[in-house]
Structure 1
Amino acid sequence: MADDSSRTRKVRGRKIRSDRSSKAGRRAKKELARTAAANARDRDGDSPLSEPDEVVPELFVETDAVASLRDRITGWLEADQPVHLIGPTGCGKTALALSAAAERGRPVVWLNGDEAVDTAALVGAHAGGERYKEDDRFVGGVSKQTEIVRERWVDNPLSVAVREGATLVYNEFSRSDPSAHNVLLSVFEEGVLERPGKRGEDRTIDVHPEFRAIVTSNDVEYAGVHDQQDALLDRFVGVHVDYYDEETEREIVSSHVDLPEEDVETIVRATRALRDELDVVVGTRAAITAATGITVFDGDEEAIDEGLLTELFTDVLAPKIAGGNGSIEELRASIGETI
C-alpha cells in the first residue's frame, strides 16, 4: 500500500514540474510578445522616425527634370546645408522633399507646420508625471513611507531628428509662428539643440553629424503665412520649385489616373493654358483632379468634350475664388474662352 502511494506521489510530482515548466514557457512567450508589441508601438506609433523607403510617395514620377532638381537638393544636403524649397502650391514640393530625404538613406522625421506649432511642439515637453510610494522597513517595527514624484519628458520631432541623425522634412514651414523657430538657430549655427523646460545635464542635445533639414513653403502670400526671421532664413539655401515641363506633368497625371494618352495630353495642355491666362494658381494637382473627373463624367465619348472640360475645371478651381475674389460666372467664362 505504501509503495502504491509513493508511486502516485512521484507521478503527481512529475506532473507538477511539467505544469510549472509549461507555465514558465507560456509566461516567457507572453513577455516576448509584450516586448515586441511595445517596440512596435515605439517605432510605428509614438516615434516620429520613419524608414527612408516608407516616406517615398507611392506615385512619385521621376523624369530627367525631377531627378535633376532632386540632385540639387541632395547635393546641398551633402554639403551640410539646410534646404528651403520654395514654390507655388500644387507644384510637388512635398513629394520632392520626401524623395530627396529618402535618397539619403537615413531615417526621416516629418513635421507639418501650422499655428499650433510652438517650441514645445518641436523639442518636447513634460507629459505628466509618475507618482509612487516606497516603504522602508529596515528597522523592525518602524515603517517609513516616502512619496516620490518623477516628471516624464517626451521628445518631439526636432529633438528626435537631431539626436538620431535623421532628415527633418518640415512641410509648410512658414505657417508656424517664427518664435517657435528660435531653437533652430543654435542647431544650424552651433550644432546644439536647447530644450527649454528640460532640467539637468541633458537640457541640450549635441546635433548628430548626419542631421539634415528640408523645409517647404509657398512663394506667394496666403492666409496664415508668417514672415520668418532673417537670421534663420540666412542659414538656408533656397531651391525654387516651379511647375514641371509638359512631359513631366503628363507622366504625373498618368501615374494617378488611368486615361488614354491623348486624354491626358488634352487635360495637361488645358491646365498649362489656364495657368498662363488665369489670375488663380493652377497647379499640377488641378490637372490630376480634372483627369479624375473625366473618368467619372465623360461616359464613352471618344474625345473630351470642350464643354465638359470647361465645367470640370470650373468645379476644380471654384474654391480658389471663394471669399469675394470673383464670381463663378466670370471664372467659367474665362476657362471656356481659354479652352
Structure 2
Amino acid sequence: MADDASRKRKVRGRKIRSDRSRKEGRRAKKELARKASDAGERNGDAPLQAPEEVVPEPFVETDAVASLCDRIGGWLEADQPVHLIGPTGCGKTALALSAAAQRGRPVVWLNGDESVDTAALVGAHAGGERYEEHDRFVSGVDKKTQIVRERWVDNPLSVAVREGATLVYNEFSRSDPAAHNVLLSVFEEGVLERPGKRGDDRAIDVHPEFRAIVTSNDAEYAGVHRQQDALLDRFVGVHVGYYDDETEREIVRAHVDLSDESVETVVETTRALRENLEFVVGTRAAITAAKGLAVFDGNGDDGRLDDDLLTEIFTDVLSPKVADEDPDGVAELRSTIAEAI
C-alpha cells in the first residue's frame, strides 16, 4: 500500500514537472513574440503616419498651389501613380505630402538614394531569435530543445500596399532603377512579390486604396538615374516649376518674420538671379536669404535695406554652388548679385 502511494506521488510529481515545462515553453514563445513585435516597431515594421502628421508646417496654399494639389489628387482618385518632376527647391516634397494628406489615408514616407535596393523597399530577414525548452519529464534527465525563429521585417512599400496607404517616395530617381522592378507588378497586376520571403505570404495583394506619389529632380541633375520606360509608362508626370511671385512671397513670409517690403525685395532679387545665373536658384534660397536678413538686421533707420548687406547674404547663400568649381566663381557671383540688387 505504501509502495503504491509512493508510486502515485512520483507519477504526480513527474506530471507536475511536465506541466511546468510546457508552461515555461508557452511563456518563452509569448515573450519571443512580444520582443519581435517591439523590435519590429523600432526597426520600421510600422512606418505608417496619420495624414495630419505629414502636412508640412508651414504650408502656403495660394490659388497656384491649390490648383496643383487638386490636379495631383485627381490623378490619385483615378488610381494613377503620380511622378512630380521639377528643379530642386521648387517645393515638390511639400506638395507631395500635402496631396497625400488630403486623401485622408495613412502615409508612408521613403527617401531615395544610391543605397536603396529591393530589400529596402519590400523587406528582409532581420536575423533570428532563439529560446530553449527544458523537458524534465524523466527525473534526473534534462532535455533541452533550442528553437530558432527567423524574423521578417516589412519595409515601406510592403506596409503601404498592405495597409492601403499613400506612398510618398522622395528623390525617386536617385535610387538604382533595378530596385524598382518590384513596382511593375504592383501597378500592373496588383501584386507585390517579396523576394527572400518564403511561404504562402511571399506575395501581397495590393490594397485597393494604395496610391503612390514619387518626386524627382530634372534629368540633368547629378546623381539622377534614368528609370526604365516600362515603369515610367505607368506614371502620369506632373511638372512642378517655380511658383509665381505672389506665391513665393507668401512662402517666404510664412517662414520668416520680415516686413512686406523686405520680403518683396528678397523675392524680386531671387527671381532676377534665377534669370541671370546658370545654376538653379530655388524658393529655398529665398527663404534662407530672408532668414539671414532677419538675423543680421539689414533695415536702416529710414526702413530701406542695406544693399551691401543684401549682396553679402545672397553671396553666402549661393556660393556653395560655385565655390568648388571655379576659384574666381564667388567673386563673379558677388558681382552678378550686386548688379541684380
TM-score normalised by structure 1 residue count: 0.85
The alpha-carbon deviation at position 311 of structure 1 amounts to 1.3
Question: Which consecutive unaligned segments of at least 5 residues does structure 1 have?
Answer: 1-34
The alpha-carbon deviation at position 102 of structure 1 amounts to 0.1
SS in 2 for 1:324: coil
Match of 2:235 in 1: 236
Match of 2:322 in 1: 321
**Stretch moving more, 301-310 or 273-282:** 301-310
Between the two proteins, the alignment pairs up a number of residues equal to 303
The answer to whether the 8 Å contact 1:117/1:176 transfers is yes
Match of 2:48 in 1: 49
Match of 2:65 in 1: 66
Taking the aligned partners of 1:45 and 1:299, their CA distance within structure 2 comes to 46
Match of 1:334 in 2: 336
SS in 1 for 2:221: coil
The alpha-carbon deviation at position 85 of structure 1 amounts to 0.2
SS in 1 for 2:247: helix
Match of 2:14 in 1: none
- Letter matched to residue 323 of structure 2: A
- Letter matched to residue 225 of structure 1: V
Question: Percent identical across equivalent pairs?
Answer: 79
The answer to whether the 8 Å contact 2:83/2:235 transfers is yes
The alpha-carbon deviation at position 300 of structure 1 amounts to 4.3
Match of 2:24 in 1: none
- Letter matched to residue 83 of structure 1: V
Match of 1:119 in 2: 118
- Letter matched to residue 254 of structure 1: R
Match of 2:7 in 1: none
SS in 1 for 2:64: helix
The answer to whether the 8 Å contact 1:109/1:166 transfers is yes
The answer to whether the 8 Å contact 1:43/1:49 transfers is no
The CA RMSD over aligned residues, in Å, is 2.1
Match of 2:308 in 1: 307
- Letter matched to residue 311 of structure 2: T
SS in 1 for 2:196: coil
Match of 1:9 in 2: none
Match of 2:81 in 1: 82
Match of 1:6 in 2: none
Matches within 5 A, 1:21-36: none
Match of 2:204 in 1: 205
SS in 2 for 1:50: coil
SS in 1 for 2:319: helix
CA 1:45–1:161 in structure 2 vs 1: closer, same or farther (change >3 Å)? closer
Taking the aligned partners of 1:155 and 1:314, their CA distance within structure 2 comes to 45
Taking the aligned partners of 1:211 and 1:51, their CA distance within structure 2 comes to 15
CA 1:42–1:198 in structure 2 vs 1: closer, same or farther (change >3 Å)? same
CA 1:45–1:148 in structure 2 vs 1: closer, same or farther (change >3 Å)? closer
The answer to whether the 8 Å contact 2:298/2:305 transfers is no
- Letter matched to residue 308 of structure 1: L
Deviation sequence 1:287-326 (CA, Å, 0-9, x none): 1111111112235411112222211111111011132156
TM-score normalised by structure 2 residue count: 0.84
The answer to whether the 8 Å contact 2:252/2:287 transfers is yes
Taking the aligned partners of 1:200 and 1:158, their CA distance within structure 2 comes to 19
Deviation sequence 1:137-195 (CA, Å, 0-9, x none): 55677654322211000101000000000000000001111111111111011100111
Taking the aligned partners of 1:44 and 1:59, their CA distance within structure 2 comes to 29
Taking the aligned partners of 2:122 and 2:83, their CA distance within structure 1 comes to 20
The alpha-carbon deviation at position 134 of structure 1 amounts to 2.3
CA 1:64–1:264 in structure 2 vs 1: closer, same or farther (change >3 Å)? same
- Letter matched to residue 227 of structure 1: R
The answer to whether the 8 Å contact 1:110/1:157 transfers is yes
Q: Would you say 1:157 and 2:159 are equivalent positions?
A: no
Deviation sequence 1:259-292 (CA, Å, 0-9, x none): 1111111111111111111111010011111111
CA 1:300–1:321 in structure 2 vs 1: closer, same or farther (change >3 Å)? closer
Taking the aligned partners of 1:220 and 1:269, their CA distance within structure 2 comes to 27
Taking the aligned partners of 1:55 and 1:224, their CA distance within structure 2 comes to 27
The answer to whether the 8 Å contact 1:88/1:220 transfers is no
- Letter matched to residue 319 of structure 2: A
**Stretch moving more, 52-61 or 138-147:** 138-147
Q: Would you say 1:167 and 2:169 are equivalent positions?
A: no
Question: Which consecutive unaligned segments of at least 5 residues does structure 2 have?
Answer: 1-33
The answer to whether the 8 Å contact 1:267/1:290 transfers is yes
Match of 1:255 in 2: 254
